[in-house]
Structure 1
């Protein structure tokens, strides 16, 4: 179970998440030795306060959950998140521009955010539920070529979360050049292990305790 815990980004991204709930999230992450917690950027200072004495990392969402905010605002949010204590950034790709095949813009935006956060880990959410199989492959390639560290399946706010098929397509494109994070709908150990067997390096879930229990 400790092995599974090392893959988990324990997540709380609800719009109505309270300070007490964020504190509980952090306490659970420390107790069960999860790899990281994932929170909205406005909750970073709370999380940082409760995780300063632990090895648990903090990931902050950027342009979440739609990905449609301006590049300037995403960069500012990412830079502020790092200053507020984020170890990693989970950004949402501009899905509308991607659908319009503005691939150069999409890639450039990712590059800009990676440059803004320096050596910190960047995960790019491509929201696979809105993409065809072909588009999942194209998006994964854009993320890889833009210098991100992870390509991530889902926000958890779309029409569905991750699927094994999505991950197989992503892995077929990025190989070992970029890591994969699967998120959305992963709620038990058996499912988590299926994703890990496909090469997933991180699992985003609000069910971390259930998975390792």
Structure 2
């Protein structure tokens, strides 16, 4: 097994483990432009926006080969039909998205429709082909039993990452949520933490628990990166 990097290595290259996002329904062009500016300045690994802004973001990142274009499917509720999610996925891939974050049908999981939830994930991931799909499980809303099911199903369905939250819900992703996810995932699939992550201290705690990627809104992403630069002694 490949040795995991030290936390200091992650902190030094934290921009390459952070997805900068502008995915709230209230985000306007001025907010998208701000995300694009900071994505370029800090070279975050992926920039995520809502589908209507995808062509705009693609155009403005076209000369930034190190920054991937991200797209969201079934966002934010996960309640779209499987056919609708596949259509969204295919459209986003055609538009140039290189990573997809798909919301699990978590209300169906809470309603004990486990086979539906698994089939939904599996079909979308299959349709994505070689494009990585991160499955968002909205972990803060799940019971321990539901969380275990969600993690196991996402692993079996072939998720590239399991992501904690959309960031749209009132409950944040805490270190305890990540701890529970890690205990269920057992290193089989990387974890992406998202939803209320606003400090380097939180990032460091989650790195200790095995997180490989972080989804962070624009203002918080900039704040965290500046804290990280000071931590490793960079200007």
Tell me the TM-score normalized by structure 2. Answer: 0.87
Offset, 1:178: 0.8
Task: Find out whether 1:116 has 2:127 as its counterpart.
Answer: yes
Post-superposition Cα deviations, 1:95-149, rounded to whole Å, max 9, x if no partner, equal 1211122111111111111111111110111111211122111111110011111
Greater Rg over alpha carbons, structure: 2
Query: Structure 2 stretches of 5 or more lacking a match?
Result: 1-10, 227-235
Whether 1:22 aligns to 2:44 is no
Equivalence for 1:8: 18
Query: Is the 8 Å Cα contact of residues 187 and 211 (structure 1) preserved in structure 2?
Result: yes
- Residue number among 207, 210, 213 corresponding to 2:223 in the alignment: 210
Residue in structure 1 matched with residue 158 of structure 2 by the alignment: 147
- Structure 1, unmatched stretches of 5+, are none
Residues 1:53 and 2:63 aligned together: yes
- Conserved 8 A contact 1:155-1:161: no
Give the SS at the match of 2:211: coil
Give yes or no for contact 1:23–1:46 (8 Å, CA) kept in 2. Answer: no
1:37 match: secondary structure: strand
1:24 Cα offset (Å): 2.3
Residue 104 (str. 1) matches residue 115 (str. 2): yes
Moved more, 11-20 or 39-48: 11-20
Whole-angstrom distance in 2 between the partners of 1:70 and 1:61: 15
1:27, 1:50 within 8 Å by CA — same for their partners in 2? Answer: no
Stretch deviating more after TM superposition (200-209 or 158-167): 158-167
1:89 is paired with a residue whose SS is: strand
SS in 1 for 2:36: helix
Give the corresponding residue for 2:231: none
Match of 2:52 in 1: 42
How many angstroms does 1:2 deviate by? 4.4
Alignment of 1:125-140 (within 5 A): 125-140=136-151
Once the 2 structures are TM-superposed, how far is the Cα of residue 18 of structure 1 from its aligned partner? 2.1
| 1:183 maps onto 2:194 in alignment | yes
